[in-house]
Each structure stands twice: as structure tokens, then as C-alpha cells.
Amino acid sequence: MVELIDKLCIAMRANQASDLFLYEGGVPQIRLNGKLMDLGDSPLAPELIEQFWLECGASASTLDRDTAFCASDGGRFRVNLFRTLSRRGAVLREIKTTIPDLSTLRLPTELLTTWVSRPAGLLLVAGRTGSGKSTTIASCLQWLNEHEPRHVVTIEDPIEYLFQNQACLFSQREVGIDTDSFAEGMRRSLRQSPDVIFVGEIRDYASASTALQAAETGHLVVTTLHSANVAETIERFVQIFPATDREGAQRILSSQLIGVFCQQLVPTKEGGLTPVLEYLQNEGLSRKYIQDGRNPELSDIIARGDNATSRSFLTSLATEVQSGVIHQDVALQYCENPHELSRVLRGISSGSTVKS
């Protein structure tokens, strides 16, 4: 019975869609270039979704479950099973197997390769779900794999990109299979002689504090947060700690943070997606702001100008409009303050952020 879902997965890949949405009694849909589209016109029978849940290891009493699914053509998918108004549903996202070359992603390659070449410190990559965080990090790690001998430990849920050892030795661990949690996987990884630790997501105090500890003791830690911009990313990371520990967390973070890299994908004129970016290399005045908890003032540093180590979302949007990649009206939709972007496009300097 799940052969139909297998066919839907294959069709999703053929259309180069990012997500597949399945509901009992609903027509399957895909997300293509950020937009939802029906995939066929036949509603899915409840029995089909029930059988798919069983294939994914869920029981009749399951409410939510994260798992994985392999299609007959070899495609791998990250799966979230859930209920909506008592109906079963599922969202599938393809796990890419080919790691794109960093130079093809329209990202600041020199900055990112400089960051991942550091012997120790913390690198935060931020953005909402589907913003390309995993691809950016995988491409950075693959660049490292081609250039520097390091032991890279990854802790993921689930494992997405699979690395083949070249200059680096990779130990890839999946939460729920190879380790109990992100925090436990990180804690154990410190005993595995790592040079680089990639943690799929910082979710709690245990993983956040272990990340700081690992950076402080001479490891490069790369991880992600769901946040909209540089200032919010720092704020969210610090807020994970209990109030009594935040001052100490800010002090360590100010010294160990390498940089924050935020991204979002925006529709292009040609119908695809392009990244718009905000990033900041932690140095000089930003260290003091982080230590003192003056996170909003980090945006002022970024807005002062566009250089090799910092860039605002506003500048990214304006540049993409001026280069003809995206329409101005699209950029205005993604800008937190459209009036500010209009001023910049008219040649009047200012600053802003992008909507999450």
C-alpha cells in the first residue's frame, strides 16, 4: 500500500521540490520554490497513511514522531509524523546525498572557509526551517574535508549528508540510533578526540553549555539555531541558560564565538531561490556588546557598512534587487522595514533586517 507514497516521493524528487505533505483524506502537496502545489488530484485514504505510519515505526497511540524513509530509487527522506484535528499527517523532506561545492552557493566563500579553518571556537548558523542551513554547513565541512586533516564528529537528527573521508575522518552519529540526544552525543564526543564537532541543533541548556565548554577547551563547534538575525541568534543562545548562569554564558560566548551566519531563501525572477544573508565576525566591539548583553547594538555594527566580515540583510536584499536577481516588490515583502529598503534603493544609507 505504501507503494503510492513511494511514487509520490519519486515524483517529488523529479520536480525538485523541497517538501511533501501528506494528510488522511487530503490531496498530497509539494513545496516547490517556496510555494505549495497539489501533486495529483486524488485524496489519500486513511488506510494508506496508517500503513505509512506503521512502516515508519509509529503505533496507534503515537502523536508525533521524527523518523526517516527510504524510497525505492534510493532517495532518503526526513519524516515528521503528526496529527491534525485527529487526522494523521506527515511531512517529508529529501535528505540530499550530493554535497554542493561551496563556491556554487552564492555565499561568502572566503569568510566561511576562514571560519571553519579556525582551530577552536563556536560558529552559529541561523535561519528558519528550509533556509539552507544544513546545505551551507555540509558544504563548509566538505571544503574542510578536501583541505585539512581533521576528525569531524557530527551529531544529527537524522543524518542528512553522508561524507566520504578524504583529508578528514568523519564520525557521523544519529540521535536515537547512535546516541540518546544532542547533549549526550556532544558530551560523549569530547572523549573521541574530535577537532570539529557539528551539532544539528542547540535545543536545551545541556547542549548549549556543552557547546561552550567544547569551544573553550580547544574544539571547533558548528551548530544551528532557528532565529531571524544576528542579534536574535545571540539572544536566543543566551536565553537557553537559566538566569543565574547567563552572565557567565555571555562572558564565555563573547570570547569563544567566531561568528554568526544567518540566511534565508528568497524567490528569484527566474523562479528559483537565492540566499539573502546577514553575518557578523565576532571581534573588537562586538565582544564587549555580547559580554554586556547589549545584543541589539550588534545590528548597529552590521549596519555601519558592508565589508568582508559583516553584512546586513538589508544590504543583501538591496544588492540582489540592484543586480536584477530578485524583484523589488519581493524584496520589500521580505524586509522587516520596507521603507528603509526603499530609501537604500534610492541611494540613502540605512539598515534593517529580514522577516523570519
239 with 336, same domain?
yes
| Domain end residue (candidates: 51, 75, 95) | 95
Q: Are residues 170 and 298 in the same domain?
A: yes
Whether 8 and 106 map to the same domain: the answer is no
Beta-bridged to residue 82, according to DSSP, are 89
Within-domain flag for 319: yes
Q: Which of 41-55, 79-93, 101-115, 337-351 has the lowest mean pLDDT?
A: 337-351
Residue with cell 570570547: 255
Q: Measure the CA–CA gap between 275 and 304, rounded to whole angstroms.
A: 21
155 and 300 in a single domain? The answer is yes
In a domain, 356, yes or no: no
Whether 150 and 17 share a structural domain: no
Residue 354 lies in a domain: no
3-state secondary structure 191-252: CCCCCEEEECCCCCHHHHHHHHHHHHCCCEEEEEECCCCHHHHHHHHHHCCCHHHHHHHHHH
Q: Which of 95, 112, 139 corresponds to the end of one domain?
A: 95
Q: Please report which confidence band the pLDDT of residue 170 belongs to, taking 50, 70 and 90 as the band edges.
A: very high
Does residue 213 have a pLDDT over 50? Answer: yes
Q: Is 113 found in the same domain as 247?
A: yes
The overall average pLDDT reported for the chain is 92
Task: Tell me the mean pLDDT in the region 162-175.
Answer: 95
Out of 60, 95, 130, a domain closes at: 95
Cell numbers 526551517 correspond to: 129
Main-chain dihedrals φ then ψ at residue 183, nearest 5 degrees: -65, -45
The answer to whether position 88 is within a domain reads yes
Residue-level pLDDT at 186: 94
Residue 355 has pLDDT above 80, yes or no: no
**207 pLDDT exceeds 80?**
yes
CA-to-CA distance for 294 and 270, rounded, in angstroms? 40
Task: Band the pLDDT of 200: cuts 50, 70, 90.
Answer: very high
Q: Are 241 and 208 in contact (CB under 8 A)?
A: yes
Give me the domain span that covers residue 190.
102-345
Distance CA 117, CA 281 (A): 14
Query: Which residue bears the cell 540518546?
Result: 180
What mean pLDDT do residues 44-72 have?
A: 90
Do 30 and 166 fall into the same domain?
no
Q: Write the DSSP string, 77-112.
A: EEEEEEEETTEEEEEEEEE--SPPPGGGSSS-HHHH
Same domain for 68 and 175: no
Quick check: is 329 in a domain? yes
- Does 69 share its domain with 200? no
| pLDDT (mean) for 257-272 | 95
Burial class (CB in 10 A: 0-12, 13-18, 19+), 126: buried
Q: What's the CATH number where 340 sits?
A: 3.40.50.300
57 pLDDT more than 90: no
Give the pLDDT score at 306: 57
What total of structural domains would you count in the chain? 2
Neighbours of 33 (CB within 10 A): 15
In a domain, 352, yes or no: no
pTM equals: 0.84
pLDDT at 295 over 60: yes
**Domain assignment of residue 269, yes or no:** yes
Within a domain: 355: no
Q: What is the pLDDT of residue 24?
A: 94
Q: What is the pLDDT of residue 348?
A: 58
Residues 159 and 177 in one domain: yes
pLDDT at 356: 42
Residue with the bigger pLDDT between 352 and 90: it is 90
- A 10 A CB-CB count for 27 gives 14
Q: Which three cell numbers stand for residue 208?
A: 548549549
Q: Over 70: is that where the pLDDT of 114 sits? A: yes
Q: Are residues 274 and 163 in the same domain?
A: yes
State the angle between helix axes of 133-147 and 109-116 in degrees (0 to 180), rounded to the nearest 10. Answer: 70
Q: What is the CATH number of the domain that holds 83?
A: 3.30.450.90
160 and 238 assigned to the same domain:
yes
Q: CA 42 → CA 10, 24, 100, distances in Å?
A: 17, 11, 35
